[in-house]
Amino acid sequence: MLAHTAPLFAAAGDHPALGWTDKEVLLYVLSAVGGTLFVLVPVAWGLVNLLNRRADRRAARLEVENRTLRRQVAEREDGGPVEELRRKVAEAAQHTGHLEATLAQVREQAAGFERAAKGLEGERDELTTQLAEAQDSLAAEQRRVRKAVHKDGTTWTEKVLASAPEFKPLDPDGRRTPVISVLNLKGGVGKTTVTANLGAALARRGWRVLLVDLDLQGSLTGLFLPAAEQEDRHRARRLAGDFLEASFDGEYPNLPDDFAVPVLPGATCSLVPTTDEMAYAETNLTVRWFLKDARRDPRFLLRKELQLKRVTNQFDVVLLDCPPLINISCVNALAASDYVLVPVMPSKQATDRVTVLLERLKEFHDNLNTDLKVMGFFANRTKESDLTTDERNRLVALRDKCRDTWAAAPCFDAFIRQSAEVRRVEDERRPLGPGDELYPAFVRLAGEVEGRLPMFCRPGGRPTAAPVEAAP
Ligand SMILES: Nc1ncnc2c1ncn2[C@@H]1O[C@H](COP(=O)(O)OP(=O)(O)O)[C@@H](O)[C@H]1O
Ligand SMILES: [Mg+2]
């Protein structure tokens, strides 16, 4: 402060005189400073104003620049190329996302197609294998059919496999129920008439008789059952043909309990009926046998059943009414029988045919059933109440013919003469019985049949029945 003030004193040439009081010095300094400030303050204000104006101008310029820049930025933000690019990039990214999703779907579908193609390939291979197998088995079946056709009727005597049910012969300690086939390869000789009336006569003599109608004409059934009942049994599949088919299919049908119908009031005589539907069973089983459709042998269906205790405990004798030809029913009958009973008409034509019958029976005896025996021949439909000389001579010739072959068998003394009574009782749907004119002839025949059976088979010679075995 004193340094500043010194020049002022000098300039004024007016410096404080020595000996001033302090108060005078202080006044002097203050007046010097005030003078200086009086000069300096306006200068400072001028400077400040100048600087302020310059700052305002500069601020206005900056404001203008700032607005310009903001406008430019706003323009760019609105639609500038960067934004355009950004939008395009965003769109491209979205598009890429879509494409990726589509690609993933396509890949998935392709994988599905691949899997399906593999599956189809597997199926194709499997089908090719099945086709090859089917072709093989078809070829084998064609060979079998050709072989069967080539055999020309002898198919039925084809070798019996070890698996076939064994024939258990009549035995006092075993099977005591004889099975008798009433057979002749000629029609109209009286097989059915004899089966029905012999059966009824035996039943009235105390035998428990089971009759089986094996002829697809169903004549034996027609003798006992009215058409409505036949129809019922057909619908219920309770006919002989149904039994054979079910048995072949391994269903273990029960012949005596489910297929036999009692047909003679006051006696035990039941019938397994047949209608012409047997023709279907015949064809069906024959074709299946030729084609070896099942391992089972359709020739032994009756043998298996008729030797079961459920049959032998309920019946003392079984009579099988055979058809006049060798078909599956007839083969079943011969494979199951102990005896063949042959009704003949004592005409030349009829007795000549017996030779053929004996030849066929021998084939069956040798190939299917070595226990098969010819029980005998007997005359039916003779002219008079006694045999004529011609008829007698024919029967003697027949007996001699049999004696010369394997089937040595006597002729029965009993014979049945031709009588309208047979038709009459057929119309009444009953067998001959006491009071009918021809009945005694059947009783005689029944007596002779009884005499040709082992003693132990007769009803009186039997032990009390063993319990019936359960179905397998
Ligand atoms: N002794 C007889 N007297 C009269 N007619 C008979 C006699 N035996 C059978 N007939 C008749 O002959 C026809 C054929 O008999 P049938 O027993 O059916 O023979 P098959 O069963 O051998 O074909 C039947 O119409 C039956 O009435
Ligand atoms: Mg008949």
Q: Strand pairing partners for 321?
A: 182, 213
* Whole-angstrom Cα Rg for the chain: 63
Q: How confident is the model at residue 289 (pLDDT cuts 50, 70, 90)?
A: confident
Fold of 178-461: Rossmann fold (3.40.50)
The answer to whether the beta carbons of residues 340 and 183 sit under 8 Å apart is yes
Would the CB of 217 count as within 6 Å of ligand 1?
A: no
Would the CB of 421 count as within 6 Å of ligand 1?
A: no
Mean pLDDT of the chain: 87
**Domains of the chain by residue range:** 2-77, 178-461
Q: What is the pLDDT of residues 78-132, one digit of tens each?
A: 766 777 888 888 998 999 899 999 999 999 998 999 999 989 999 999 999 999 9
Backbone angles phi, psi at 415, to 5 degrees: -150, 165
The pTM of the full predicted model, rounded to 2 decimals, is: 0.71
CB < 8 Å & 24+ apart, contacts of 26-31:
29/1, 29/2, 29/5
Residues 6+ apart with CB under 8 A from 208: 268, 269, 314, 315, 316, 317, 459
Query: Which residue type occupies 117?
Result: A
Q: Ligand 1 test: best mutation among 193, 224, 383, most atoms within 8 Å of CB?
A: 193
Cα distances (Å, whole numbers) of residue 38 to 4, 11, 233, 410: 15, 17, 153, 185
Would the CB of 219 count as within 6 Å of ligand 1?
A: yes
**What phi-psi label fits residue 231: left (phi over 0), alpha (psi between -120 and 50 degrees) or beta?**
alpha
State yes or no: pLDDT of 153 exceeds 70: no
Closest residue (by CA) to atom 16 of ligand 1?
190
Mean pLDDT of 149-166: 75
Ligand nearest to the CA of 439: 1
Distance of CA 66 to the CA centre of its chain: 95
The answer to whether the beta carbons of residues 201 and 261 sit under 8 Å apart is no
Would the CB of 342 count as within 6 Å of ligand 1?
A: no
Q: For residue 453, give the 3-state DSSP assignment.
A: coil
Rounded to the nearest angstrom, the distance between the alpha carbon of 426 and the centre of ligand 1 is 10
Q: What is the pLDDT of residues 186-225, one digit of tens each?
A: 999 999 999 999 999 999 999 999 999 999 999 999 999 9
Lowest mean pLDDT across 146-160, 199-213, 303-317, 353-367: 146-160
CA distance 158 to 17: 177
Q: What is the pLDDT of residues 39-70, one digit of tens each?
A: 888 888 888 888 889 889 988 999 999 999 88
Per-residue confidence (pLDDT) for residue 11, from 0 to 100? 46
Closest residue (by CA) to atom 24 of ligand 1?
188
State yes or no: pLDDT of 141 exceeds 90: no
Atom of ligand 1 nearest to the CA of 189: 22
Atom of ligand 1 nearest to the CA of 321: 21
Backbone angles phi, psi at 410, to 5 degrees: -75, 160
Residues 6+ apart with CB under 8 A from 417: 381, 382, 383, 384, 385, 438, 441
| CA-wise closest residue to 183 among 353, 306, 40 | 353
| CA-wise closest residue to 259 among 282, 240, 277, 280 | 240
CA distance 85 to 422: 118
Stronger pLDDT, 363 or 17, i.e. the higher one: 363
DSSP string, 324-389: SS-SHHHHHHHHH-SEEEEEE-SSHHHHHHHHHHHHHHHHHHHHT-TT-EEEEEEEEEESSSS--H
Atom of ligand 1 nearest to the CA of 187: 23
State yes or no: pLDDT of 243 exceeds 60: yes
CA angle, residues 218, 221, 227, in degrees to nearest 5: 95
CA angle, residues 287, 292, 295, in degrees to nearest 5: 130
CB half-sphere exposure, 340, CA atoms < 13 A: 29
